Structures are given as structure tokens and as C-alpha cells.
Amino acid sequence: MAQEPEPTSLLPRPLLAVAIGLPALLAAGVAAAGLFLGTGGSDATTDSTSDRSGPLPLVPVPAPAAESADCQALLSKLPMQLVSNGATLPRRELTAPAPAGAVAWGDARHEPIVLRCGLDRPGDLTPTSELRGISDVQWLVLTEGGSSTWYVVDRPAYVALTVPSDAGTGPLQDISTTIRDTLPAVPVDTRG
């Protein structure tokens, strides 16, 4: 029997090996780059800025006067942006259903600043509480972790402003001025 001649390729063997191996090598490189630089991996879920965009979820807290005329008047006068340590923070959308009497400011690079109006009288407000006056508004400050919550205690509605520790004094000054110009002063109620 006669042997059939082996088929010959138009490409030399070394070039044929490169032509077959190059796509496989390229696919492996893209996969490795995706694992190293990928946006869908665990790095994206642990990035501290990933949860700072989009609507801000707020936990509901007791705020029996949140829909009062005083709170409605204050909320309508609050600024659309606050300057926090040199950064201008716009109003932030809240996740629905948003708690009544709540407003927030922030962006993707900064922790949010949250105001709540119509709260119950702070339990930490006693006759010996140290109050701080800013723009003729009396505040009780409570610090916990990386933020402070400032309670307005001399107006007809209790207001809380929670600010991160790096916010600077701008937000407190702006909110104090708005409260002073919107809500009348009342005696501080320190009875426990």
C-alpha cells in the first residue's frame, strides 16, 4: 500500500505554535488583570466610598413632632448645601420611606451629615449638662465613635445634627443660623 503524504501547513511550526498559544496567553492575561484590578470583586464591596452614593438609608427614630409646623418651617429653610471642612456637600437623597423630619448632606468622598427634627427630649439633658451656644442657639453635644450628635435644646422642637469628626465647624454654624432665624427661643427644659 502506498502511503499518503502528510498534509503540510502553510505556516512553519514555530509560527503555528505562536498563533495557537497567543490567544490562550492573552485570555489568561485578561483574566489575571480582571482578578487583580476587577471592579466586581470583594474590593468593591469593602471600599468605604461604595456606600456613599445613591440614596442614604436612615434608621427611623422616635420623632413625635417631626411633622409639626416648627419642623416643617425649619426643613423648608435649610440650605441645599453645607460647607464641611472646605468641601461643599449637596443635599443627599434619602432611601424611601424616609423618616419624617430628616435631611442629609454628603457626597461620595465624605461621611453624611444628618439632621433630624421633632425628636424626643434628649435623656442626657440634665440641670448639670454642659451646653454650647452657637449663633444664639443652645446645643447639647454627645460624642460617640467617629461622630458627634448635637441636640438643639432651646427651641420648640428638638433638633439633632449628627456630624463626622472631620466636618469642621461650618455645618454647625450654618444650621445654628438657620435655626436662630426660623424657630423662636424657649427656656431649656432640664427636668428628668
Could you read off the pLDDT of 80-99 as tens digits, one per residue?
999 999 999 999 999 999 99
Each residue of 119-155: pLDDT tens digit? 999 999 999 999 999 999 999 999 998 899 999 999 9
Of all residues in the chain, the percent with pLDDT exceeding 90 is 68
What's the angle, vertex CA 163, arms to CA 158 and CA 169, rounded to 5? 100
> What rounded mean pLDDT belongs to the chain?
81
Nearest to 67 by CA among 99, 98, 100: 100
Provide the pLDDT for residue 191: 82
Residue 9 has pLDDT above 80, yes or no: no
> Residue 18: which pLDDT band, with cuts at 50, 70 and 90?
very low
> Residue 23: which pLDDT band, with cuts at 50, 70 and 90?
very low
**What average pLDDT does the segment 29-41 reach?**
33
Domain boundaries, the chain: 69-182
Which residues are CB-contacts of 192 (< 8 A; sequence separation ≥ 6)?
Answer: 123, 125, 126
3-state helix, strand, coil in the chain (%, to 5): 25, 30, 45
Q: Which CATH architecture has domain 69-182?
A: 3-Layer(aba) Sandwich (3.40)
Residue 7 has pLDDT above 80, yes or no: no
> Residue 160: which pLDDT band, with cuts at 50, 70 and 90?
very high
Flag whether the pTM goes above 0.85. no
Q: Which spans in 10-134 are helix H?
A: 13-37, 42-46, 69-77
Q: CA-CA distances (angstroms) from residue 117 to 41, 59, 68, 97, 183? A: 39, 14, 9, 16, 12
